[in-house]
Amino acid sequence: MFVDDRESAEIEKLQTEAQKLGAERRKLLAEEAKLKRETFFYPLVAGAAALAALTTLFGFFLKP
């Protein structure tokens, strides 16, 4: 009886660890997707900021 309890406790422990690892994997995959989106949009945001800065600069020089 004692051996069965030990084995079932060990199986439970391994299942819990597997669930934790699965959750960590999902978390890392979500982080990867977030970083991919940020990498895609970063040049657009940087370009828009540069365009806004140039527009402001030209506006100051062309203002009478």
Torsion of CA 28, 33, 37, 39, to 10 degrees: 50
Alpha carbons 36 and 28: distance in angstroms, whole number: 12
* Token output for 9: 């406790």
Instruction: Report residue 40: phi and psi, to 5°.
Output: -70, -45
Identify residue 40 by its one-letter amino acid code: F
pTM of the model: 0.63
pLDDT of residue 62: 87
pLDDT (tens digit, 9 = 90+) per residue, 21-56?
Answer: 999 999 999 999 999 999 999 999 999 999 999 999
